[in-house]
Amino acid sequence: MSTDTSATRVVHGTCHHDCPDSCGWHVTVAGEGPTEQAVQLRGNPAHPFSKGELCPKVNRFLDRVYSPERILHPMRRVGPKGEGTFERISWDDALDEIATRFHSIIAEHGAEAIMPYISAGNQGLLAIMFGDRFWHHLGASRVLGALCGATAGAGASATNGTGKGIDPSDMVHSRLIILWGTNTRLTNRHLWPFIEEARAAGAQVVVIDPLRTITADSADWFLQPLPGTDVALMLAMMHVLIRDGHVDQQWVAAHTIGFDDLTAHVAEWTPARAAATTGLAVDDIERLATMYGTIRPSAIRTLIGAEHHEHGAMFFRTLTCLPALVGAWRHQGGGYARSVGVWSNDVMDHAALTRPDLLAGRSPRGVQMVHLARLLTGDPDALSDGPPIKAVCMISVNAMVSVPNTELLRQGLLRDDLFTVVHDQFLTDTARYADIVLPATTHIEATDVVTSWGHLYLGWNEAAIAPLGEAVSNSELHRRLARAMGFTEPALFDDDLTVLRDTLPTIDLDELRTDAFVKVPYPDDGRPFADGGFTTPSGKVELRCDLLAALGQPALPTYSAPSEAAFAPRFPYALMTPKVHTRFLNSSYSHLPKHGPLEGSPFVEVHADDAAALGLTEGATVRVWNDRGELVLPLRLSDRVRPGVVAVPWGWWANQHPGSSPTGPVANSLTNDTLADWGGGSAFWDTQVALAPTPTAFM
Ligand SMILES: Nc1nc2c(c(=O)[nH]1)N[C@H]1C(S)=C(S)[C@@H](COP(=O)(O)OP(=O)(O)OC[C@H]3O[C@@H](n4cnc5c(=O)[nH]c(N)nc54)[C@H](O)[C@@H]3O)O[C@H]1N2
Ligand SMILES: Nc1nc2c(c(=O)[nH]1)N[C@H]1C(S)=C(S)[C@@H](COP(=O)(O)OP(=O)(O)OC[C@H]3O[C@@H](n4cnc5c(=O)[nH]c(N)nc54)[C@H](O)[C@@H]3O)O[C@H]1N2
Ligand code: SF4
Ligand SMILES: [Mo]
């Protein structure tokens, strides 16, 4: 757990950010009691995946911990919502006020009028899930779906019955690696050395992305389809694989259902047809399919970005059919590599952590996480049954930056009759709208276990220092809320170590605490599905999925254009709002002085042809708008986007936009909050906008 020298001690930790790499770290702490200070935070060289390296965000993590901007005590809002004026109050007063409001809301509207809103700002098991116990016991609205990951998992599960894929680091054995809708070098940087290792052994690396990312720049071959059109490309690949005899007939016969239906279905998906839909060249589609049909082992790697579409689940459902057709699962380094968090589920007793039994037979109504803006503004389609939302408790989320349709969300958060609680480390754009702001610990101030979605190691995180000020961890917050509400159910008050022991019954926590990480079970030969073993109703890869048909979705992989395309006559440009900054992790860091300013400031990337057609030049001030919102940004001429596609980097808070204020618009002011086809994600990147010059000048 820690190594002591006379002056300092070194404590094991694991990064908590919503990042696939879950790096191991060491915190060096000097002093005791009032003089205690974390003096260094460095990568743990023994960590098998991150190998001692962190990243440009977390190399300066202590700037975050000791930032003068940290919220260190509870606060009550004293000015108008959004203005950001608060007074310091005691924890007792804060909890009293919350409990009083919750009790009166429950008496008048029922507990479903209260909504927890917990995202993955801290991915520790306790941080993200222990609170479920409290919300279950309260009978609050159940939050369905997620801002991240739910659609991808649901799409892959339709085909395979499970979200499981191969261990991404096994791609060292691959000879063809297709990075499909993932920006590895930025978002999953510690995987890149494994890819380079494969490449040194002869692997070819193909990137498929509507944006020419830094990963695309490092690929052997880059394909740039129009956003949201990949399913057409996949169907044409299937067409070529079948036409040219590249299907592994033996594997398909043994481990799939629906091949004949699929064959008939993709007959019309010629490369020429897919070329017209995707904007790719026919020859490139043929070449990609032939490579995929002939090179072994082949791995398709994807992560999250491609799910942010109305047909995001269909992307993942269709993609997972490809390795089955060519029998890619036969080989180590063959198959499909996505989030591997599902492997950790095998060692986790999820029910022991979240205690659904505390619902005590009730089944509170479900509300969609990505529909926060619609829920808070009483949209009857989003809130079809039950009471209006009267209170929201936001934990580990900066919704005003991260959730789609920000301007509608602002209207919701401005409601006088909405009681908003925010628990965070900083006065985020979201916290400004809170009635009560509560101080959160950083990850070096709380013990937890972090499961990873990028590698197979569980990581221990030991509290290295005592909480600063009056900050509390997410688990302690929920214990305090339970006490303030007058609840007596013992499970709401379990201490952290008890909860972790119950959650990870097969893991020796003392050993984990000493070693810092432990690998979750995974087949030794690295071929989890070589001989089938899928968990669909048929036990096979479902090329035809009758469960989907029962949900009203096509049983066979099917391309559909997004509904947002109907706005193209008024809003002709497709808008991407991606993660592009090496010093940002989602909405975190852009406000810190050694992070945000070093990344410049927001801009809109436009292809030279589009800029010329609009009469715009580099640095021009551009209005970017649609019916949801409007941004005014400097134009950057870019060959990273195709004509017809524009990009605004995401992660900036409002006041970092040129000429803006803390209550100004952000990238998500423009984005689409349509629910994905299934799984409960958002169609962030099916967003159409218009562009025009504007006379506004920036200082
Ligand atoms: N336009 C656009 N929008 C997007 C995306 C995109 O690519 N483009 N990406 C989407 C994706 S994939 C995701 S995951 C979401 C992420 O959206 P968020 O979940 O909002 O992002 P984070 O910045 O990771 O974390 C949010 C907050 O958690 C706080 N925090 C950190 N640790 C703790 C803790 O221990 N306790 C508490 N209470 N708070 C803590 C941080 O200070 C931060 O303010 O955004 C989504 N939104
Ligand atoms: N530096 C840094 N690292 C991060 C984060 C961060 O904010 N900053 N965020 C973390 C989080 S929360 C997550 S979820 C992961 C995400 O990890 P990734 O999924 O790798 O990253 P994204 O940038 O969300 O999306 C990947 C790519 O998908 C592309 N894409 C979008 N739509 C389509 C499409 O229709 N077709 C295809 N082929 N590609 C498409 C985008 O252009 C983008 O380049 O990254 C994590 N790592
Ligand atoms: S943000 Fe990601 S890459 Fe950076 S230290 Fe954390 S887990 Fe590692
Ligand atoms: Mo994410």
Question: What's the pLDDT tens digit per position in 468-481?
Answer: 999 999 999 999 99
Report DSSP state, residue 467: P
Nearest one of 618, 630, 696 to 665, comparing CA atoms? 630
The pLDDT value recorded for residue 699 is 40
Distance 148 CA to ligand 4 centre (A): 4
Distance 304 CA to ligand 4 centre (A): 7
Q: How far apart are CA 638 and CA 393, in angstroms?
A: 40
Q: How far apart are CA 393 and CA 412, in angstroms?
A: 14
Residue-wise pLDDT for 333-385, tens only, equals 999 999 999 999 999 999 999 999 999 999 999 999 999 999 999 999 999 88
| Ligand 1 site, residue 452, Cβ cutoff 6 A | no
The pLDDT value recorded for residue 660 is 84
Spatial strand order of the sheet with 114-118 comes to 86-88, 75-77, 436-439, 419-424, 391-395, 114-118
Domain 75-147+362-519 coded CATH 3.30.420.10: no
Out of 425, 429, 468, mutate this one to test ligand 1's pocket (max ligand atoms within 8 Å of CB): namely 425
Nearest one of 143, 109, 140 to 481, comparing CA atoms? 140
Banded pLDDT at 7 (limits 50, 70, 90): confident
Distance 50 CA to ligand 3 centre (A): 9
Length of the chain measured in residues = 699
Write down the domain spans for the chain. 8-65, 75-147+362-519, 150-338, 563-693
CATH, range 563-693 = 2.40.40.20
Q: What angle do CA 142, 148, 154 make, to 5 degrees?
A: 75
Cis peptide bond upstream of 297, omega within 30:
yes
The ligand 1 atom nearest the CA atom of 441: 35
| Ligand 1 site, residue 671, Cβ cutoff 6 A | yes
The ligand 2 atom nearest the CA atom of 304: 19
pTM of the model: 0.97
| Ligand 3 site, residue 178, Cβ cutoff 6 A | no
| Ligand 3 site, residue 450, Cβ cutoff 6 A | no
Residue-wise pLDDT for 146-196, tens only, equals 999 999 999 999 999 999 999 999 999 999 999 999 999 999 999 999 999
Q: How far apart are CA 279 and CA 8, in angstroms?
A: 59
Pick among 2.60.40, 2.40.160, 1.20.950, 2.20.25: CATH of 8-65: 2.20.25
The ligand 2 atom nearest the CA atom of 189: 3
**Phi, psi dihedrals of residue 179, rounded to the nearest 5°:** -90, 100
Distance 690 CA to ligand 2 centre (A): 24
Could you tell me where the beta strands, DSSP code E, fall in 281-357? Answer: 298-301, 335-337
Minimum-distance ligand to the CA of 64?
A: 1
Q: How far apart are CA 372 and CA 382, in angstroms?
A: 9
Out of 288, 303, 685, mutate this one to test ligand 2's pocket (max ligand atoms within 8 Å of CB): namely 303
Residue 315's DSSP bridge partners are: none
Assigned token pair, 462: 């030991």
**Over residues 518-527, mean pLDDT:** 97
Distance 606 CA to ligand 1 centre (A): 27
Residue-wise pLDDT for 558-606, tens only, equals 999 999 999 999 999 999 999 999 999 999 999 999 999 999 999 999 9
Distance 464 CA to ligand 2 centre (A): 31
**Phi, psi dihedrals of residue 74, rounded to the nearest 5°:** -65, 150
Domain 150-338 coded CATH 3.40.50.720: no
- For residue 449, pLDDT beyond 60: yes
| Ligand 2 site, residue 687, Cβ cutoff 6 A | no
Ligand 1 atom 39: residue of nearest CA? 396
Distance 272 CA to ligand 2 centre (A): 28
Assigned token pair, 487: 């609840």
- Min mean pLDDT across 3-12, 358-367, 440-449, 530-539 is at 3-12
Distance 522 CA to ligand 2 centre (A): 26
| Ligand 3 site, residue 57, Cβ cutoff 6 A | yes
